[in-house]
Amino acid sequence: DQQVKQNSPSLSVQEGRISILNCDYTNSMFDYFLWYKKYPAEGPTFLISISSIKDKNEDGRFTVFLNKSAKHLSLHIVPSQPGDSAVYFCAASVRGGGADGLTFGKGTHLIIQP
C-alpha cells in the first residue's frame, strides 16, 4: 500500500513558466513533508520542507503548499529554469526525528523545455 503517491511520472514545462508537482498521502500520522530533487548519477538532495502546522513554505523560486484536509501537497517552481530538469521526490515522515526514515513517492520527472 503506497502511502505517498506522485501520480504524474513526468511533466514537461516551458522555461519561464510555472511548474506544479503534486503529491498525495494516505497516512494521517505524517506531519512533516519534504521535497527532494535528484539528478542522474547523483543522490537526492533536499529542496524544501513543510510542517503540518503550516500551509505554505517559500524559499526563493520554490513554494510548497499543504492541504491537510485533502492530504495533498504541491511544489511550485516559478519561474522554471533549465537546471530544474530533474526527478522530484515527495517524502513524508512522522515528526519526532524521522525515526522510521522517510516514506517516498515514486517521483516525477520534470523536463523544462527551452
Query: Given the rule CB under 8 A, which of 10-18, 55-63, 75-83, 90-98 is the region that contacts other proteins?
Result: 90-98
Q: Is 65 left (phi over 0), alpha (psi -120 to 50) or beta?
A: beta
Q: In this structure, what DSSP letter does residue 84 have?
A: G
Three-state DSSP at 26 gives coil
For other proteins, the binding residue among 1, 28, 41, 60 (CB under 8 A) is 41
User: Smaller CB distance to other proteins: residue 101 or 114?
Assistant: 101
* Bridge-based pairing state of the strands 32-38 and 86-93: antiparallel
| φ/ψ (deg, to 5) at 57 | -145, 135
Binding of residue 34 to other proteins (CB under 8 A): yes
Strand order in the sheet with 19-25: 4-5, 19-25, 72-77, 62-67, 56-59
For other proteins, the binding residue among 22, 49, 52, 57 (CB under 8 A) is 49
Minimum CB–partner distance for residue 113 and other proteins (Å): 23
Binding of residue 107 to other proteins (CB under 8 A): yes
For other proteins, the binding residue among 44, 66, 73, 85 (CB under 8 A) is 44
Using CB under 8 A as the criterion, which residues of the chain lie in contact with other proteins when the complex forms? 4, 6, 9, 32, 34, 36, 41-46, 49, 89, 91, 93, 95, 97-107
